[in-house]
């Protein structure tokens, strides 16, 4: 089983600030995914990271993957209120179809 | 855009009643997953299918929950009898290739009184 841990669980940050969400996983994970969930809504795929050193960016969000450290990060640059949501990372083994989700990070951006 | 469709979106029923939730995966996707989300437990995997065959249902309480895929366009999750502790949001997700993300439906918000 692949265990995925995120921290922090809760994050309150001011608009305009930068911050990083961390996602650690227990064993080799060849695929790492980031999702966003708005309150009362479904999960929406943000990034797919498929190899060591992969970096993906979309707007104020940038995700990276270090398979040797078993760590993925989601960096938020100059946060805006619209980024308030819960962010999940999920790992997936090369073999098999199951996704292993972290507990999620609830992000609140304060004006 | 292709979407995973779940019905019903909301369900309120009394304890002891049977509940059936349905999911139409994205056409062509060969894996289907059922998750339950609560504030206390977060996102839990209940069961998943590949090419309609159940691969893992270890997350499901077997005495009351059952999951099936009668055909490639329909997955069902049933609870019988339902209990108040089953109140949660149930998500269905489907996927295709090894590297592709899962696509989630909008969920069924279930309340058992």
User: Number of CB pairs < 8 Å for A and B?
Assistant: 46
> What's chain B's average pLDDT?
94
* Model pLDDT, residue A61: 98
SS3 assignment, position A81: helix
Nearest to A98 among B56, B100, B101 (CB): B56
pLDDT tens, position by position, for chain A (111 residues)? 788 999 999 999 999 999 999 999 987 767 899 999 999 999 999 999 988 889 999 999 999 999 999 999 999 999 999 999 999 999 988 777 788 999 999 999 998
Nearest to B102 among A41, A99, A104 (CB): A99
**Nearest-Cα residue of chain B relative to residue A105:** B42
* Model pLDDT, residue B97: 67
Q: How far apart are CA A22 and CA B8, in angstroms?
A: 35
* Model pLDDT, residue A94: 73
* pLDDT bucket at B14, cuts 50 / 70 / 90: very high
Which residues have a Cβ under 8 Å from the Cβ of B111 and sit 6 or more positions away?
B10, B11, B12, B13, B87
Q: How far apart are CA B3 and CA B73, in angstroms?
A: 12
CA-based nearest residue to A46, from A7, A97, A104: A104
Which residues have a Cβ under 8 Å from the Cβ of B102 and sit 6 or more positions away?
A33, A45, A90, A99, B31, B33, B93, B94, B95
Q: How far apart are CA A70 and CA A23, in angstroms?
A: 8
Q: Does B102 touch chain A (CB under 8 A)?
A: yes
Q: How far apart are CA A14 and CA B98, in angstroms?
A: 38
Share of chain B above pLDDT 70, in %: 99
The answer to whether the Cβ–Cβ distance between A101 and B43 falls below 8 Å is: yes
Closest-CA distance of chain A to residue B13, Å = 20
Per the CB < 8 A criterion, the answer to whether A76 and A61 are in contact is yes
3-state secondary structure string across B41-74 = CEEEEEEEEECCEEEECCCCCCCCEEEEEEECCE
Per the structure block, which two tokens stand in for A60? 């104020």
Most confident stretch, A91-95, B58-62, B92-96: B92-96
Q: Does A54 touch chain B (CB under 8 A)?
A: no
The answer to whether the Cβ–Cβ distance between A98 and B45 falls below 8 Å is: yes
Listed range (A43-52, A94-103, B36-45, B50-59) with the worst mean pLDDT? A94-103
* Model pLDDT, residue A110: 94
């Amino acid at each position: 089983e692949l265990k995925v841990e995120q921290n922090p669980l809760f994050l309150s940050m001011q608009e305009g600030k930068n911050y990083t969400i961390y996602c650690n996983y227990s064993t080799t994970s060849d695929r790492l995914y980031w999702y966003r969930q708005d309150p009362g809504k479904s999960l929406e795929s943000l990034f797919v990271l498929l190899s060591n050193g992969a970096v993906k960016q979309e707007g104020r969000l940038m995700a990276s993957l270090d398979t040797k450290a078993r760590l993925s990060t989601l960096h938020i640059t100059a946060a805006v209120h619209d980024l308030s949501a819960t962010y999940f990372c999920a790992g997936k083994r090369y073999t098999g179809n199951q996704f292993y989700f972290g507990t999620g990070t609830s992000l609140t951006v304060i004006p | 855009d292709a979407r995973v469709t779940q019905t019903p979106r909301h369900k309120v029923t009394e304890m002891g009643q049977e509940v059936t939730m349905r999911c139409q995966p994205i056409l062509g996707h060969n894996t289907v997953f059922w998750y339950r989300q609560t504030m206390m437990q977060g996102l839990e995997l209940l069961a998943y299918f590949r090419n309609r065959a159940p691969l893992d249902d270890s997350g499901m309480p077997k005495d009351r929950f059952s999951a099936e895929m009668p055909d490639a366009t329909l997955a069902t999750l049933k609870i019988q009898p339902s209990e108040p502790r089953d109140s949660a949001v149930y998500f269905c997700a489907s996927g295709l290739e090894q590297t592709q993300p899962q696509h989630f439906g909008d969920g069924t918000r279930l309340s058992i009184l």
